[in-house]
Amino acid sequence: MRARLLVVLTFAAALAPACKRTKPKAGQADPSPAHLKVEDGPVFPPLKAADITRLVIDRPGAAEVILERSGDHWALKAPIRDTADDRAIFYALQELDRMEWEKAPLPDAPATAAARGATDADLLTIQITQNGVELPRLRLGKKGVARAGDRRGLYEVYRINYFTFSREVRSWRDRTVLRIPPDDITAVEVRDGVGAAITVSRGGSDDAPTFAITAKSGIEGTLNPEVAQQVFRHVADLEAEDVSDTSPADAGLAPPRLHLVVRSKKGTRDLELGAQLPDGSVYVRVGDGQRVLRLSKSTAALVARAPAAWLR
């Protein structure tokens, strides 16, 4: 019996080194497969939208975009300088704030990278500054994957979209023309450059508005209420398709082709509409400022209506 026990103990002692997984010594590679490793801490530093103050977005094959916060507002610093679009910033910060990472990297990362749009040629890099600290680079793939800083692993990520950050430069620029609560608008006046004018007032209730002509000149006919409803609804949240570097004079804004006065419970806003381009888009500016924007063909068709176009 003692001899048999001695044989069992001898066999167990010989087998133990093969079964035990020890931490590699300094300079020695860890033999564990990379896809079996789970991170002890967060793969990427936690992000909070309110604490992010700078984004540098390096898009494949395109100019670097730099966005910086100043107080409550964001500015586009490169490749051109302009006010940043608050909606684009809101969605970007919201996605960074709620982004979630898998704890373990994907297996077979090189093969997966090509299928998930995460090769070196595909990856979009975001350098984030939070609370004054520049964080590791976030490198986003096109199909729900990312790399964190200099980590070699490719991780699945959730609640963040590659295309929120790969947008064209024009989409980061503030393209707001007007933003007024629709129910606050009380009247719209339209004048052209040849003496025709019309003023339409809004009445009724918020659920059932009514429209009536309160003044007109140089035109004849009765109000088309469908046209009035379209203009009132779309002018309340009016966004341009693009910001133009065209001068007001070259954009047909000196003088303008049409002049819109939008009256609301909080004040009056003036819009000037200029030349129509071959693609149907129309130049616009707020007041007599130097910043020129361009309305898309579909938006211009709804709001850039001459006084006679309000009638039937």
Q: Residue 240 falls within a domain, yes or no?
A: yes
Q: Residue 261 falls within a domain, yes or no?
A: yes
158 and 214, same domain (yes or no): no
How do the pLDDT tens digits run along the chain, 312 residues long? 344 433 333 433 443 333 333 334 444 444 444 444 565 679 999 999 999 999 999 999 999 999 999 999 999 999 999 999 999 999 999 999 999 999 999 987 789 999 999 999 999 999 999 999 999 999 999 999 999 998 889 999 999 999 999 999 999 999 999 999 999 999 999 999 899 999 999 999 988 999 999 999 999 999 999 999 999 999 999 999 999 999 999 999 999 999 999 999 999 999 999 999 999 999 999 998 899 999 999 999 999 999 999 999
CATH of the domain at 298: 2.60.40
From 172, 206, 224, give the residue that closes a domain. Answer: 172
163 and 191, same domain (yes or no): no
Q: Residue 11 falls within a domain, yes or no?
A: no
Domain with 303, as residue range(s), is 176-310
From 150, 172, 194, give the residue that closes a domain. Answer: 172
pTM, rounded to two decimals: 0.79
122 and 226, same domain (yes or no): no
Backbone angles phi, psi at 101, to 5 degrees: -115, 145
From 106, 137, 172, give the residue that closes a domain. Answer: 172
Question: What pLDDT shows up at residue 152?
Answer: 82
Question: What pLDDT shows up at residue 206?
Answer: 86
Q: Residue 197 falls within a domain, yes or no?
A: yes
Q: How far apart are the C-alpha atoms of 174 and 85, rounded to whole Å?
A: 4
Number of domains in the chain: 2
Q: Residue 8 falls within a domain, yes or no?
A: no
Q: Residue 168 falls within a domain, yes or no?
A: yes
Question: What pLDDT shows up at residue 109?
Answer: 75
